């Protein structure tokens, strides 16, 4: 299968209101993006699917929502102040800046990937990725604080609070969804690498002797989530264990879940074995005990931590890329997003076959209002039926409902399914239940080929 095309997704996202460049009327700002009406729904659905799977369906993980700005000691102790940097290389000729990791060879030997000149690249220099800000009215160094570059530390510093109040015993996890900030050297590839982004992380605390077994469990479990819950094609996903020299300062082993992005296989999610690095460091620096009594072994231990960490924006990009298809239908191009119904921003769109018949318009609007009480529904009568279907296909709406003249006589309407473009006639009284069950995954069976409805 060819890699999906990024330009098509960027253009669809802009055209249909998924993602806009941030502060676009002033020329935008590199690495910052705004989510439009459909984007915010899709993003919320991705987050809800993760939260349900990782927190609500499990007895061994609880949630947290920590502050973005924390005591700066957190970042000194975690190693980020000293070590959270990327090596950066500048071209003296064209002034382009690169991540040294992205260059295919030492700067002294290769040509600048932008202008092609040789001998113009600087030696790598460390570039710090944490954004600084100041807290309070004083302009002095004591007031310096950081925007968090990962959500994980909010979990570590709350470890004792959560373990005690939620009465959790090992193994157990703490989950968090929230914004993170990194002053990336080269933001880009649309929303793949941003300077402001959202992360979903679990820190899963285990007895040190069970480190490997839980690491393997989470790698498998997370891969399964991408295929089974997000509906991403398995052939576009792979696991990539890190080489020892690329491990983060806190990690003993890390496996990335990678996706075949248009720019090549790249990280979608990382599962890291952070050992007891963070809890030990915070315990030592704060003087607070961060060990727990493990009933199974009868020991006091500082737990080891397995961390599945992913980015919401990258997930959204992946979902869009993977769902996108262009088809030829009766000689015309049809763009369709094959989103899982659970992820689709709008679950059902109601449309009257004839918009110049007030009784059909009124019926359609009433039906949409009824459906809206159950799930995200919309009403549209601003174009012909064929056009309205295509509009919904392009944003991934799984079901359309059409009311026509027959509806007035027989009280039934037509449901049309996005992927197969087949239709079923259903009594209006049964429609909300039927749509709700389809959206929650009931199979679509017995659809009839789309007919050109009479009267169009």
Closest approach, Cβ 52 to ligand ATP, in A, equals 19
Q: Is 43 in the site for ligand ATP (CB under 6 A)?
A: no
Closest approach, Cβ 130 to ligand ATP, in A, equals 12
| Region of 262-270, 287-295, 350-358, 374-382 interacting with ligand ATP (CB under 6 A) | 262-270
- Single out the residue of 380, 401, 376, 402 nearest to residue 391, CA to CA: 380
Select the residue whose beta carbon is closest to ligand ATP and give its number.
311
Q: Is 50 in the site for ligand ATP (CB under 6 A)?
A: no
Tokens in use for 217?
């469990």
Q: Is 378 in the site for ligand ATP (CB under 6 A)?
A: no
| Region of 113-121, 220-228, 293-301, 303-311 interacting with ligand ATP (CB under 6 A) | 303-311
Question: Residue 303 phi/psi, 5° resolution?
Answer: -65, 155
Q: Is 278 in the site for ligand ATP (CB under 6 A)?
A: no
User: Judged by CB under 6 A, which of 310, 316, 385, 401 binds ligand ATP?
Assistant: 310
Q: Is 311 in the site for ligand ATP (CB under 6 A)?
A: yes
Query: Do 259 and 236 contact (CB within 8 A), yes or no?
Result: yes
Instruction: Work out the burial of residue 138: count CB atoms within 10 Å of its CB; fewer than 13 is exposed, 13-18 middle, 19 or more buried.
Output: exposed
User: Tokens 């939260």, residue?
Assistant: 51
Q: Is 269 in the site for ligand ATP (CB under 6 A)?
A: yes
User: Judged by CB under 6 A, which of 314, 340, 347, 418 binds ligand ATP?
Assistant: 314
Q: Is 107 in the site for ligand ATP (CB under 6 A)?
A: no
| Region of 89-97, 267-275, 341-349, 403-411 interacting with ligand ATP (CB under 6 A) | 267-275
x-marked contacts with ligand ATP along 138-177 as a string, rule CB under 6 A: ------------x---------------------------
Of 64 and 315, which has the nearer Cβ to ligand ATP? 315
Beta bridge partners of 215: none
Tokens in use for 66?
């920590």
Give the Cβ contact number of residue 121 at 10 Å.
25
Note if the bond before 8 is cis, omega within 30 degrees.
no
Q: Which uninterrupted H or E stretch holds 427?
A: strand 422-427
Q: How many residues bind ligand ATP (CB under 6 A)?
A: 16
What whole-number distance in Å separates Cα of residue 208 and Cα of residue 266?
Answer: 30
Question: Residue 430 phi/psi, 5° resolution?
Answer: -95, -5
Query: Do 276 and 252 contact (CB within 8 A), yes or no?
Result: no
Give the binding site for ligand ATP (CB under 6 A): 150, 182, 184, 193-194, 197, 199, 267-270, 309-311, 313-314
């Amino acid at each position: 299968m060819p890699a999906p095309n990024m330009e098509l997704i960027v253009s669809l996202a802009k055209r249909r209101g998924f993602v806009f460049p941030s502060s676009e009327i002033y020329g935008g700002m590199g690495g910052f993006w705004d989510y439009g009406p459909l984007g915010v729904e899709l993003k919320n659905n991705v987050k809800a699917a993760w939260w349900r799977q990782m927190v609500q369906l499990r007895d061994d993980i609880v949630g947290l929502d920590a502050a973005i700005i924390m005591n700066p000691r957190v970042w000194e102790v975690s190693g980020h102040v000293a070590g959270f940097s990327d090596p950066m290389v500048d071209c003296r000729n064209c002034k382009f800046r690169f991540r040294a990791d992205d260059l295919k060879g030492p700067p002294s030997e290769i040509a600048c990937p932008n202008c092609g000149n040789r001998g113009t690249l600087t030696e790598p220099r460390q570039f710090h990725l944490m954004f600084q800000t100041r807290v309070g009215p004083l302009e002095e160094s004591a007031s310096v604080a950081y925007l968090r570059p990962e959500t994980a530390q909010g979990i570590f510093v709350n470890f004792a609070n959560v373990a005690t109040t939620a009465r959790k015993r090992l193994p157990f996890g703490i989950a968090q969804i929230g914004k993170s900030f990194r002053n990336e050297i080269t933001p880009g590839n649309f929303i793949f690498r941003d300077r402001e982004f959202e992360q979903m992380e679990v820190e899963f605390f285990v007895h040190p002797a069970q480190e490997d077994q839980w690491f393997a469990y989470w790698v498998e479990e997370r891969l399964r989530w991408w295929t089974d819950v997000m509906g991403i094609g398995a052939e576009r996903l792979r696991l990539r264990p890190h080489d020892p020299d690329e491990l983060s300062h806190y990690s003993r082993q890390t496996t990335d879940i990678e996706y075949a992005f248009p720019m090549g296989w790249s990280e979608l999610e990382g599962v890291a074995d952070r050992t007891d690095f963070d809890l030990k460091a915070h315990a030592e620096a704060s003087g607070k005990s961060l060990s727990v009594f493990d009933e199974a072994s009868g020991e006091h231990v500082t737990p080891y931590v397995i961390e599945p960490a992913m980015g919401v924006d990258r997930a959204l990009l992946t979902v869009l890329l993977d769902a996108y298809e262009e088809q030829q239908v009766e000689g015309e191009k049809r763009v369709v997003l094959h989103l899982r119904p659970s992820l689709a921003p709008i679950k059902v769109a109601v449309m009257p076959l004839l918009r110049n018949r007030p009784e059909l318009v009124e019926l359609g609007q009433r039906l949409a209002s009824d459906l809206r009480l159950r799930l995200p529904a919309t009403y549209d009568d601003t174009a012909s039926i064929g056009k309205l279907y295509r509009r919904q296909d392009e944003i991934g709406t799984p079901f359309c409902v059409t009311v026509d003249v027959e509806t007035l006589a027989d009280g039934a309407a037509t449901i049309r399914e996005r992927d197969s473009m087949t239709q079923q006639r259903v009594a209006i009284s049964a429609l909300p239940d039927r749509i709700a069950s389809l959206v929650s995954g009931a199979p679509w069976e017995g659809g009839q080929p789309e007919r050109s409805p009479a009267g169009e």
